[in-house]
Amino acid sequence: MAASEPPEPPPRSPVSRPVTARVPAKVNVQLAVGGLRPDGFHDLANVFLAVGLHDEVTAAPADALRITVEGADAAQVPLDRTNLAARAARALAERYGIEPGVHLHIAKDIPVAGGMAGGSADAAGALLACDALWGTQAPRAELLEICAELGSDIPFSLVGGVALGRGRGELLTPLETGGAFHWVFAVADGGLSTPAVYRECDRLREASGTGASAADVPDPEPSRALLDALRTGDATALAAAVSNDLQPAALSLRPALADTLRAGADAGALASLVSGSGPTCAFLAKGPEAAQAVATGLAASGTCRTVRVTSGPVPGARLVHA
């Protein structure tokens, strides 16, 4: 007897109450940057790890698209069409031929322009929340496609956990991990523009005589030692293997970050590195007590605005059920 097709799920209808999505920040435990491609991007071997700082995006029915933001960095977030959450909502609405009538409220806990993919988190959260609000029921693959069109880091915000990003970071392979890692983040005053940090990376490569184009720079490859350390959950081995090719550029644009990195190392961090394009600095600690000691040392050093203690990997964007 031929197997019968499973019945189609009934079409989901829009809901009239607000829907909230919770989305994590990320740290790049490896960020290997290839040469500048003719299209202006760089090929990457980008190992993302989602950590427990979250933004929450709430989508509520409205006559037109509107954004509000709360949180310490709220004033730095654009409220116009350029907001990544607004762009995500419009992209989903366009695909389904519907009006993007939605009020998006962002409760922002991820530092803005901090190298922790806060804008990407809001885009992934808006997509998930609007999908539920409008009943569009977009397949996961389609949500990931919209994410990749909107920005290189956005697919990871949806997926979370730990993943290797190839291409410009958007081609994701989830990775296994053997346990939780303990992190401390030193949040800086003011942000750094990601494109400006990539330009500085290219400038430093030109100035050093190696050249900055794809023909001059070796293809970026994931580190075997790093993948092994993640798989076994070995914090000491992970600390020995972390790397960030954007760190010299971030330090060149913001030399004071060297003091922050040193303060964390002096306070006992196993590894100190700039998170992505910075200026947030990330510190890996042996366990929860060591993380508290690193946080105390950083706070006392006066080399950063705020200190956050957390762990990861954590899951990607999720709907929050009231």
Residues forming the site for ligand ATP (CB under 6 A): 77-78, 82-85, 106, 112-120, 122, 153, 191, 194, 276-277
Q: How far is the CB of 9 from ligand ATP (least distance, A)?
A: 31
**Beta carbon nearer to ligand ATP, 220 or 276:** 276
Choice between 88 and 290, CB closer to ligand ATP: 88
The Cα–Cα gap between 276 and 157 comes to: 14
Please say which residue, 100 or 119, places its beta carbon nearer to ligand ATP: 119
Residue 25 annotated in ligand binding: no
Annotated catalytic residue: which of 55, 122, 153, 202? 153
- Does the annotation place 125 within a ligand binding site? no
Across 68-78, b (16+ Cβ under 10 Å) vs e yields ebebebeeebe
Q: Who's near 14: CB < 8 A, 6+ residues apart? A: 61, 133, 134, 135
Residue 276 annotated as binding site: no
Q: Which is nearer to ligand ATP, 73 or 234 (CB)?
A: 73
Q: Write down the catalytic residue from 26, 43, 109, 202.
A: 26
Nearer residue to ligand ATP within complex by CB, 158 or 267: 158
Q: Which residues lie below 8 Å from residue 140, measured CB to CB, with a gap of 6+?
A: none
**Is 26 among the catalytic positions?**
yes
Residue nearest to ligand ATP (CB): 119
Which residues pair with residue 165 across a beta bridge? 46, 172
Distance CA 24, CA 101 (A): 25
Shortest Å, Cβ 47 to ligand ATP: 14
**Residue 1 annotated in ligand binding:** no
User: What span, in angstroms and rounded, lies between the C-alpha atoms of 44 and 149?
Assistant: 17
Note whether 116 and 104 are within 8 A (CB).
no
- Residue 76 CB, nearest distance to ligand ATP (Å)? 6
What are residue 309's DSSP bridge partners?
A: 184
Question: Any binding-site annotation on 6?
Answer: no
- CA-wise closest residue to 30 among 317, 311, 276, 242: 242
User: Shortest distance, CB of residue 115 to ligand ATP, whole angstroms?
Assistant: 4
Any known ligand binding at 89? Answer: no
Contact of 124 with 23, CB cutoff 8 Å: yes
Q: Rounded to whole angstroms, how far apart are CA atoms 59 and 220? A: 39
Look at the alpha carbons of 189, 193, 194, 196 in this order and tell me if their dihedral is positive or negative. Answer: negative
Active site residues: 26, 153
Residue ranges for the known binding site are 111-121
Q: What residue numbers does the annotated binding site for ATP cover?
A: 111-121
